[in-house]
Structure 1
Amino acid sequence: MTKVSLRNIGAHKLRLALTVLAVVLGTAFIAGSMMFTNMLERTFDSAVATQYKNADAVVEPGEDSSSVPADAADDITKLPTVERANLVGSTTIVAATTDETAIQTRQGRASAAVYYGPDDNVALAPEIIEGRAPEPGNTPAEAVLNANGAEFYGIEMGQELIIVDTGGRERYTVTGFYDDETVQETSLSFLLPEADYREFYVAPDTVPGLLLAGPEGTDPQTLTDEIASAHPELEVRTGEVAAEETSKSVREALSFVSYFLIAFGLVGLLVGTFLIANTFSMIVAQRTKEFALLRALGASRGQVTRSVLAEAVIVGLLGSVLGVAGGAGLVALIKQVMQRYNMDLPAGGIGFALDTAIVPIVAGVIVTVISAWAPARQAGRVQPVEAMRASESAAPQPLRKRTLAGAALIAAGIAAAVGALLWEDGATADRASLVGVAAVAVIAGIFLAGPAMSLPVVPPLGRLIGAPFGTVGRLASTNTQRNPRRTSATAFALMLGIALVTIIGMLGASMKHSVDTVAENEVGAEYVLAGPDMAAFPIPRDLMERLPEVDGVGAVAAYTEAAITVDGEYSATLGEFGSTTVLYGDPGDLITLEMAEGSSSLDGNTVIAPRAWAEERGWKVGDTVTIAAPGISPLTVEATVGGIFEESSMLPAVVVSADAATQILPPGAVNIIMLGVSGDGTVDSDQLRANLEAEVKQDIVVQVKSKDDISGEVLDLIDQMLFILYALLSLAVVIAVLGIVNTLTLSVIERRQEIGMLRAVGTHRRQVRIMIILESVQMAFFGAVLGVLLGLGLGWTFLTVLADQGLEQIVIPWGLVAQMLGGSVLVGILAALWPANRAAKTPPLDAIAD
């Protein structure tokens, strides 16, 4: 029986290739996902290892501080057990040419850090490949720059640059270029002498942290314990521990990327599962005589079943191994594509490791065997007498049990979805989980009840589509009706892919509508001034005083966030960190607020809050609240609730006045993130923008944007996200299309006699091609309709549950729906071309003789 299985696989190479391809596509994505994450982890591990290489101890601020006192740092560096000490620190900056034109770093970043030469560096000194090392105390300051970044942005040796940070501006002269493969070419990484770095970017009497190395033979743990006992207020770790903990946090951050990609790989494998199961079912049906003959020769049921499973193991193993190779190719392709769009990934190979091969191979084999289990058991049940039958493939199979089970699952899924909608008091996460359960139940139900559902839909659809083609059209309709299981299974894979695309399309359309609505209805300012990447870089504080003097400027308000609490609560929290919105001026000049009580003005020690926030805490206008900065300052200040406003998407929680915040925070701790400006009516909008741009040109980091500019940036981000999701989901659609090709090809092989008879009685080759194409279009269109209906239903339910997250209005992307329905017809035609051509070439007499 083992020989029979192996020879059977070898004798049907086309059938083998089609089945293996389904496994390859699913496992390639899982393998590629794991390799991609592994590659990123290796890159970061390498960077971390380089950073802490040769470091015996790492000294960092304690829990209640953001820096190390300079006197403590001096004490530590003077210890006889410390030979070399390096300052640890990096400051985000914006670089500009001397004519004040900012260098836009796109997907990269610009930063300044400390340069140490080979004799002074605790870790590895950067290799200067051109020019010389920077020297301290010069004006302008000297710095070396990563060579790949200098080449990318056209920065030359000896060039003078303006460097802006949150505290002001400096000037650098580039004295050399260094090589560092961990720095992307789209980033600018300046290294300058320690004295200059401390003068420009470190607060007086502090240092950000220290890397320490002792004389040869120093025990890192002994040195760490010595420093920790003398300075218990600081965090002191060995270099090895610091590297391990940093790598661990990086891996945890990257795990999301891994889970996200693997989730789409599993979707592809799930769709592939139905394709594999469908393929094996057809193979078993075609080989009924073969199995019956084996049974007549003495093979037991178990032997026949095991022979089919053995074939599945071989197919799964072969497909998974090829899938791992495909995954490696996928990673290489991603790197090339990202490089083309100036998003270079650091050099780190393709991330291949033992686990990136074993996991996809095991998953692929298991999925293939599970998919083949039911067909294998069906093969074992073949009776010897069936070898004498003339035909068996079209024998009807009862659908009653699976239809009832499917209907029950669909009903349970709908009930779960309705329950999620009615459970208005439940947590959003719990309600969304219930929708997920509903989705699984409905999908499983459609898979089981699909054959029965296809009977009243596909034949009439087939007659409608085939009407212009006469008898050939009617034949195509009859063929899809004869085997509803096959029709449904083939359409199901496409349905699943299109349902996911529909859900993502609804999410994207609703998000876009929400952004447009907020920008149109809630942004009150005529222009918004912010740093690069919309508030990622703070802007100069003196703008609040300068802007009112600009011609045409009326009201000015500023937005920022600070780590302060109001009655012990932050506006927003992320893990153990929290922040509260702080506003300068009247927020009504920046954001359109509908006041329920009091005023939106934030003069003096004042807070304002949304109605829901205030009611939950029992606040009324005139009440007193306490503002504090835990972990930063021991001071507190009393503030008055000055106003309560209706719900706002832009201000969902309490807002504190800048006057109150600055009383408890250290000087310079509150950076302005965004400024809103409205005109006074004396100049038109275009002139106001020109005046604002002229005023902030010297600041380099400030960009002037209209409401349309802001919403356009957000919409571009949404489009990028959707593009990535559609690209990933396209894998499932590709597998589904291959499923149609597979089904039709096997169907043509199975119906060889029938097609030969049609040719013998006068059917032209062109007519045979049309018949096969029409069958494909029927199945593809049926799958698309089911997918759209399922996607719209699940998408609407899911977005309704997420209404309190800002997606209040659900938008159906009718254009996308029309494209998918029209595209399904095209998919049906393209998928049928090869099988149809193969059917048309069937020799009539040879086929009848078979």
Structure 2
Amino acid sequence: MIAALWNRLWLFNFGELLRHPGRTLLSGAVMGVSAALIVAVLSISGSVTGSVDKLTKGLAGSADLEITGITDAGFEQAMLAQISATPGVKAAVPMLRGTLGSGEDRALLIGADQTITALGSDLAGPMAQYVNKLATTERGVLVGAAMGLQEGDPVRIGAGTATVAAVLDSGATGRLNGGHVVAGPLPLLQFLTDRVGKLDSVQIVVKPGTDVGALRTTLTEVVDGRAVVAEPSLRTAQAGGAIQIMRYSTLMSSAAALIVSTFLIYNAMSMAVAQRRSTLSLLRAIGGKRGPMVRDLLVEAALLGLVGGAIGAAVGALMGRFAIGRLPAAIVQSVEARTEFEVPNYAIPAAIAACVLSTVVAAAIAARQVYKVAPVEALAPVEAGDVAATGKVLRWVALVAGLILGAVAIAVAFTDLGRLSLGAITTSFTATVFLCFAATGPIVRGSAGIARWFGAPGALGATSLERAPRRVWATAMTVMIGVAAVVALGGASGNMVKSATDSFQNLAETDLYVSPSAVEQFPTGPVLPAGLAEKLAEVPGVDQVVPAQMAFATIGSGRVMLQGYSTTVSDARLGDVDAAVIEQMRRGEGIVITRDVARSLSLAVGDEVTMPTPSGQHKTTVLQVIPYFTAVSGVVMMNLDQLREWYQRPGETILSIKYAAGADPDAVRAAVRAQVPPEIHVNTGAETIDAISSGVQQGAAMSNMILWIVVLVATVALLNTLMLSVLERRRELGVLRAMGTNRKFLLRSVLAEAAGIGFIGAAIGLVVGIAVQYLATVAIGHAMTIDIVYRPSPLIALYGAAALGLALLGSIPPALRAARMPIVAALAVD
């Protein structure tokens, strides 16, 4: 039975794929594109979270819980005795964690003592193995193989210098930041980083039989809000939040590509059924059952999706590797681990499954023709007569479903659901497809009407369109989605970039910014050298030096960015904060939070909030909730002195400098640069705005690239549809040629068909795109917690024309084939 099934599949299905390599390659290619996009997107987000997870497991070993600092300032080491003495704690392993360098030179700094052996982690073995070398080498540390250092080399750490006692082999540090790691005795690294008596982490190994949940509650009481008690996986979850916006936006664009590919597969399978009409009818006539025929078609489609998806998945992995090195610097900076490329275990199976499911669903719809046509009618054109008609009940169901989904999309877009509001975009496209299905008749008549504008050749093309309503609808939808996606998501992305950039325009009011971080990164540390602000205030031409500090902090299970401002003077970065609120902040009466923080913590103006800090829990009041571009985390603004005291972070991480009236900007900047250490960055306000704009555009660029890939897929869809039209009418075209019709007439006829489908699809796409752009602008505003201004760009028409032009390119090959078809070969068609 299996042999008979295989023979039947090979003879009537797989063999057909080989006999039509062009169509097979095109269909497989579009599924491959969809799979590649899905794998690439999942690989980017998976690489960020996977790198953090690998590092976390590599350091935590057998630890069940981890106590971490609320900020990078850590917490008092004096708490270690209480933690160790807590019933149920088998071992409490203290650590100092930090980063050295930046960019490609960024490395992880780890300080630990002899208790690390209790973890059995990737670092425990090397620390025990080289304990003698660490003890006998003055200021000795261990370095990973990827650091490019040798034994005896100096290593700059903080304000001091250590010496390489040993180089760990790549196997020992493979899971530790890709070998970019510096590890040493805890007291030494505390001294070198000027953090004596401070810890960043305590790994907890639980005694057998202890209730981990109850122990976590007890430890939370012990730390009393001065640190965070959680599972080690909390770091991975927080890293996922940093990449979430990019993952959502790119997955939506990839979903659009998959939808377009599904329509294309429907057309391809319709073409396959059309070319096998005589074979299928013969099988029906000799007693063949329709069920096995349909199942064979579904198996054929599944194979197409499987092979296309598998090849595309491999290409997607390469795309992801290329893209991971171009992530915005702010995202890379916000996670502790060095981001290493990896394809998550679920990425390739998910992409292939999506492709197989799409091809099977599309083929199932196309294969309904086998059930609809009686054997005696099988030699007629596929979609002739009532066979192609869509039932009224189905159209009404589609109309109702479309209206309901449209209402849901509007509700989701205008309800502040944070990142979940982005679901309105996909929902609105789905609603449009349902509504257009209900309007199949008007769409087909509109396409035919446009084709008739081209005279007699157009009339012939219009007749062909009216005979194939389902195929016309499916192709018009591919063009519509391509155009609408470019207009809607491209326009909304442009609105977001413009509004985000505009929201930071007040930064240009400051002449210079001095920070330890590059201009495209958040100035979260380390703190600037003590006394630098006073030193710069004495530079000739400097009128004012305003200190500020920023730091990532954990509140609950989420991360926020603390921003402390010296409210005794004006600060351009407080532009959205009311003047009265600034005065309240100056008096230390409360904080200002962004919308996403208010939403996640269920806070409103006037509410009291408890802030966990290294100095204990502090109660304060929410003074104002503001819109603020927060692609990575929410923001809490407060008085600088308050931040320094509560979070035990003296100093500042950024200085704003204003020039004196009449000062030479170039001369003052040069003088400031001369007073600042070489590793400190000095940038103008204009450079800062350009960097922010570039970072936002970089994050949106990938989604925009995917959108144009969707348009290319729509081009292939139109090519497939018109090629099917030519194949179905070979005899008809041959008769016309035999009667004296010239090649130019047939060429113009096929081009008229393309124009009819293309223009009606583009027109619907423009209307839908403008409407969805508005919804997307509102939804992205909720996701980004910023007020985005809806700007219907005049480039919309250009985008639509470009997308339509690319789609119409697909009409050229079938038009040429129709014009060049030999008369005898066309008349010989069975």
Provide TM-score, normalisation by structure 1.
Answer: 0.74
Q: Deviation at 1:489?
A: 1.1
- 1:734-773 to structure 2, matched below 5 A, reads 734-763=712-741, 765=743, 768-769=746-747, 771-773=749-751
Q: Select which of 105, 109, 113 maps to 2:106.
A: 109
| 1:732 corresponds to | 710
Structure 1 residues 188 and 636: CA distance shift in structure 2, 3 A: closer
SS in 2 for 1:697: coil
Q: Select which of 51, 62, 76 maps to 2:59.
A: 51
Q: Deviation at 1:490?
A: 1.0
Tell whether 2:794 aligns with 1:814: yes
| 1:446 corresponds to | 436
Structure 1 residues 638 and 751: CA distance shift in structure 2, 3 A: closer
Whether the 8 Å CA contact 2:94–2:199 is kept in 1: the answer is yes
Whether the 8 Å CA contact 2:485–2:769 is kept in 1: the answer is yes
| 2:317 corresponds to | 331
Structure 1 residues 634 and 315: CA distance shift in structure 2, 3 A: closer
Tell whether 2:5 aligns with 1:7: no
Q: Select which of 138, 146, 149 maps to 1:148.
A: 146
Q: Deviation at 1:496?
A: 1.5
Tell whether 2:316 aligns with 1:319: no
Structure 1 residues 626 and 10: CA distance shift in structure 2, 3 A: closer
- One-letter identity of the residue aligned with 1:446: C
Q: Select which of 796, 814, 825 maps to 1:835.
A: 814
Q: Distance in 1 between matches of 2:111 and 2:593?
A: 49
- One-letter identity of the residue aligned with 1:815: L
Q: Deviation at 1:24?
A: 4.4
| 1:539 corresponds to | 527
The CA deviation string for residues 394-435 of structure 1, in whole angstroms up to 9 with x for no partner, is: 4364468366665555555666667678x7x87677876667
| 2:505 corresponds to | 520
Q: Deviation at 1:792?
A: 1.4
Whether the 8 Å CA contact 2:512–2:656 is kept in 1: the answer is yes
Q: Select which of 221, 233, 237 maps to 2:208.
A: 221
Q: Distance in 2 between matches of 1:28 and 1:291?
A: 35
Whether the 8 Å CA contact 1:505–1:813 is kept in 2: the answer is no
SS in 2 for 1:221: coil
Q: Select which of 484, 490, 496 maps to 1:499.
A: 484
Structure 1 residues 66 and 775: CA distance shift in structure 2, 3 A: same
Q: Distance in 2 between matches of 1:40 and 1:434?
A: 26
Q: Deviation at 1:725?
A: 1.2
SS in 1 for 2:549: strand
Structure 1 residues 345 and 504: CA distance shift in structure 2, 3 A: farther
Greater RCO, CA 8 A, separation 6+: 2
- One-letter identity of the residue aligned with 1:504: L
Q: Deviation at 1:459?
A: 4.1
- One-letter identity of the residue aligned with 1:442: T
Q: Select which of 257, 276, 293 maps to 1:307.
A: 293
Q: Deviation at 1:686?
A: 2.5
Q: Select which of 199, 210, 213 maps to 2:191.
A: 199
- One-letter identity of the residue aligned with 1:91: G
Q: Distance in 1 between matches of 2:401 and 2:609?
A: 54
Structure 1 residues 447 and 224: CA distance shift in structure 2, 3 A: closer
Structure 1 residues 250 and 520: CA distance shift in structure 2, 3 A: closer
Whether the 8 Å CA contact 1:772–1:836 is kept in 2: the answer is yes
SS in 2 for 1:683: coil
| 2:547 corresponds to | 558
The CA deviation string for residues 566-593 of structure 1, in whole angstroms up to 9 with x for no partner, is: xxxxxx9674666764321435243475
Q: Deviation at 1:799?
A: 1.9
Q: Distance in 1 between matches of 2:486 and 2:456?
A: 36
Q: Deviation at 1:676?
A: 2.0
Q: Select which of 367, 379, 384 maps to 2:370.
A: 379
| 1:190 corresponds to | 182
Structure 1 residues 246 and 608: CA distance shift in structure 2, 3 A: closer
Tell whether 2:693 aligns with 1:715: yes
The CA deviation string for residues 467-518 of structure 1, in whole angstroms up to 9 with x for no partner, is: xxx7556644554455343223112123223322322212221122213322
Q: Deviation at 1:548?
A: 1.9
SS in 2 for 1:535: coil
- 1:397-476 to structure 2, matched below 5 A, reads 397-398=388-389, 401=392, 437-456=427-446, 458-459=447-448, 461-462=450-451, 466=454, 472=457, 475-476=460-461
- One-letter identity of the residue aligned with 1:686: D
- 1:674-685 to structure 2, matched below 5 A, reads 674-685=654-665
Q: Select which of 568, 572, 575 maps to 1:590.
A: 572
Structure 1 residues 411 and 12: CA distance shift in structure 2, 3 A: same
Q: Distance in 2 between matches of 1:655 and 1:36?
A: 31
Whether the 8 Å CA contact 1:28–1:320 is kept in 2: the answer is no
Q: Deviation at 1:330?
A: 2.2
SS in 2 for 1:88: strand
Q: Which has the higher mean CA deviation after the structures are superposed, 245-254 or 376-385? A: 245-254
The CA deviation string for residues 431-477 of structure 1, in whole angstroms up to 9 with x for no partner, is: 76667655432232123324522423x3454456x5xxx75566445
RMSD value over aligned CA atoms? Answer: 5.3
Whether the 8 Å CA contact 1:580–1:655 is kept in 2: the answer is yes
Whether the 8 Å CA contact 2:142–2:164 is kept in 1: the answer is yes
The CA deviation string for residues 331-364 of structure 1, in whole angstroms up to 9 with x for no partner, is: 144325656999999778755x6x6666555544
SS in 2 for 1:839: helix
Structure 1 residues 183 and 803: CA distance shift in structure 2, 3 A: closer
- 1:387-398 to structure 2, matched below 5 A, reads 387=378, 393-395=383-385, 397-398=388-389
| 1:785 corresponds to | 763
Q: Deviation at 1:683?
A: 0.9
| 2:99 corresponds to | 92
Tell whether 2:649 aligns with 1:669: yes
Whether the 8 Å CA contact 1:519–1:711 is kept in 2: the answer is yes
Point out where structure 2 has 5 or more consecutive residues left out of the alignment. 224-228
| 2:683 corresponds to | 705
Work out the percentage of aligned pairs sharing the same amino acid.
20
| 2:676 corresponds to | 696
Q: Distance in 1 between matches of 2:350 and 2:580?
A: 62
Q: Distance in 1 between matches of 2:420 and 2:342?
A: 41
SS in 2 for 1:534: coil
Whether the 8 Å CA contact 2:35–2:352 is kept in 1: the answer is yes
Q: Distance in 2 between matches of 1:278 and 1:550?
A: 72
Q: Deviation at 1:780?
A: 3.5
Which has more radius of gyration? 1
Q: Deviation at 1:743?
A: 1.7
Provide TM-score, normalisation by structure 2.
Answer: 0.76
| 2:823 corresponds to | 844
Whether the 8 Å CA contact 2:68–2:74 is kept in 1: the answer is yes
Q: Distance in 1 between matches of 2:54 and 2:635?
A: 42
Q: Distance in 1 between matches of 2:339 and 2:76?
A: 32
Point out where structure 1 has 5 or more consecutive residues left out of the alignment. 95-104, 214-218, 236-240, 565-571, 620-624
Q: Distance in 1 between matches of 2:383 and 2:339?
A: 56
The CA deviation string for residues 360-394 of structure 1, in whole angstroms up to 9 with x for no partner, is: 555444433332334333322322442576x5654
The CA deviation string for residues 89-148 of structure 1, in whole angstroms up to 9 with x for no partner, is: 222244xxxxxxxxxx326634422489999896446889xx999756988x55454443
| 1:622 corresponds to | none
SS in 1 for 2:763: helix
